[in-house]
Amino acid sequence: MTDAVQTLIDQAMREAGEAQTFSAYAPSNIALSKYWGKRDRALNLPLNSSLSISLAEWGSHTTVEPSQSGSDQVLLDGQPLPPTSGFARKALAFADLFRGGRDVPLMISTRNTIPTAAGLASSASGFAALTRALCGSFGLDLQAQDMSRIARLGSGSATRSLWHGFVRWDKGARDDGGDSHGVPLDLVWPEFRIAIVEVDTGPKLHSSRDGMNHTVDTSPLFSSWPEMAERDCKTIEQAINQRDFETLGQTAEANALAMHATMQAARPALSYLTDQSWAILQRLWQARTEGLAAYATMDAGANVKLAFLKEAEADVLQAFPGARVISPFEWSNA
Ligand code: DP6
């Protein structure tokens, strides 16, 4: 199968100049209806569409420049990484999509603004910012939608990190992935809030990539996921358009719990949620009986993220002191 994205890059690279210094930013994102399961593991083509909210100033700043030392260099938060480190290998393999076989030594520096303690994966913003920076460095004039398809090859969730606000990732139907990319929803909801309720965790035992492949391969519950997820994605988009926060929240929470249920049924079972995560959920459900309009979503980690509107912020912070609140529609330099 010819990869439509590689073809796109190869065509664009025919016009490319020498690598220049170029810096770019991309926000991280949280899926309100999840991507879980691939129909093509090499091209990161999903089995279902998904929908996310970008995290404004929480994301990755990446600079790509010609390497003065004559060999590739990768820096994370100012620290040079050994070329064998996982992050360096992934970043350089991604740069190879642009370099082809050409000898163009690059320096790639990334700085994440996501508080480390928040325990959020930075691969979404990382690959989106790297895509923007590589395109800028080689002078490629590509639309955000094309860059979204390129970022997808780095990590599926990066497909949605090319824009601020709400973004849908259309799963697409083509085998070559040409129609699987992000689509920003043209709408601003300034009162929308996300809070991260942190849970103590050690290093993650399973990457989301391994976790989703294991679930697809072994979970008898997975067969019901793609259709349900597709439906949830539509329901959430409609709820956003109608500013129907309750439907949005209820659907997002149910979608996340259903995703985690598919993992628990995997053989052997897989669980990213810990006792602490469940205790937070219990506290949330109790608070909801007392009128708190906040809903939870959880990804491939133990942290719980809450979605709510500005009017509930004080009550959320009272129920979850120390939660970090993000206003997705407020950003300055990002
Ligand atoms: C649970 O995008 O990290 O966060 O495509 O294999 O890199 P790869 O997976 P990744 O998976 C994200 C899974 C999720 C749900 C979501 O963000 O939609």
Tell me the domain boundaries of the chain. Answer: 4-184, 192-326
Q: Report the pLDDT value the prediction gives residue 116, as an integer from 0 to 100.
A: 67
Helix axis angle, 245-264 relative to 208-218, nearest 10°? 70
- Burial readout 90-103 (b: 16 or more C-beta within 10 A, e: otherwise): bbbebbebbbeeee
Taking the alpha carbons at both ends of the chain, their separation in whole angstroms is 37
Q: How much of the chain, in percent, has pLDDT values that exceed 70?
A: 97
Instruction: Give dist(CA 313, CA 323) in Å, integer.
Output: 10
For 14-25, the pLDDT digits (tens) are 888 889 999 999
Query: What is the band of 169 on the pLDDT scale with cuts at 50, 70, 90?
Result: very high
Instruction: Give dist(CA 217, CA 254) in Å, integer.
Output: 23
Spacing, Cα 300 to ligand 1 middle (Å): 8
192-326 and 4-184 share a CATH fold: no
Q: Report the pLDDT value the prediction gives residue 60, as an integer from 0 to 100.
A: 96
Indicate the top mutation candidate among 171, 208, 214 to test ligand 1's pocket, ranked by most ligand atoms within 8 A of CB.
208
* DSSP run (H or E) holding 38: strand 38-40
Q: Report the pLDDT value the prediction gives residue 114, as an integer from 0 to 100.
A: 87
Q: Report the pLDDT value the prediction gives residue 205, as an integer from 0 to 100.
A: 79
Spacing, Cα 155 to ligand 1 middle (Å): 7
182 lines ligand 1 (CB under 6 A): no
For 25-84, the pLDDT digits (tens) are 999 999 999 999 999 999 999 999 999 999 999 999 999 999 999 999 999 999 999 989
Contact 165, 53 (CB under 8 A): yes
For 224-260, the pLDDT digits (tens) are 999 999 999 999 999 999 999 999 999 999 999 999 9
What DSSP string describes 111-152? EE-S-GGG----HHHHHHHHHHHHHHHTT----HHHHHHHHH
169 lines ligand 1 (CB under 6 A): no
Q: Report the pLDDT value the prediction gives residue 157, as an integer from 0 to 100.
A: 97
Q: Report the pLDDT value the prediction gives residue 122, as an integer from 0 to 100.
A: 81
- Please tell me which of 8-12, 14-18, 186-190 the model is most confident about, judged by mean pLDDT: 186-190
- Assign 218 to helix, strand or coil: helix
Q: Report the pLDDT value the prediction gives residue 195, as an integer from 0 to 100.
A: 97
Nearest atom in ligand 1 to 207's CA:
3
35 lines ligand 1 (CB under 6 A): yes
Contact 272, 211 (CB under 8 A): yes
CB-CB neighbours of 200 under 10 Å: 10
Between the alpha carbon of residue 318 and those of residues 62, 191, 281, 283, 284, the distances in Å are: 36, 18, 15, 12, 11
* DSSP run (H or E) holding 247: helix 245-264
Nearest atom in ligand 1 to 300's CA:
1
More confident residue, 2 or 57: 57
Query: What is the band of 2 on the pLDDT scale with cuts at 50, 70, 90?
Result: low
Does the domain formed by 4-184 have CATH 3.30.230.10? yes
The tokens describing 308, both together, are: 């709510």
Q: Report the pLDDT value the prediction gives residue 97, as an integer from 0 to 100.
A: 95
51 lines ligand 1 (CB under 6 A): no
Contact 178, 172 (CB under 8 A): yes
Indicate the top mutation candidate among 29, 35, 43, 44 to test ligand 1's pocket, ranked by most ligand atoms within 8 A of CB.
35
Spacing, Cα 160 to ligand 1 middle (Å): 11
Number of residues that this document lists for the chain: 334
Query: What is the band of 120 on the pLDDT scale with cuts at 50, 70, 90?
Result: confident
More confident residue, 161 or 122: 161
Q: CATH topology for 192-326?
A: Alpha-Beta Plaits (3.30.70)
For 284-328, the pLDDT digits (tens) are 999 999 999 999 999 999 999 999 999 999 999 999 999 999 999
Spacing, Cα 46 to ligand 1 middle (Å): 10
For 207-217, the pLDDT digits (tens) are 999 999 999 99
Mean pLDDT of the chain, nearest integer: 95
Lowest average pLDDT, out of 170-174, 199-203, 290-294, goes to 199-203
**For residue 118, pLDDT beyond 70:** no
Q: Report the pLDDT value the prediction gives residue 121, as an integer from 0 to 100.
A: 73
Spacing, Cα 54 to ligand 1 middle (Å): 14
Q: Report the pLDDT value the prediction gives residue 71, as an integer from 0 to 100.
A: 95
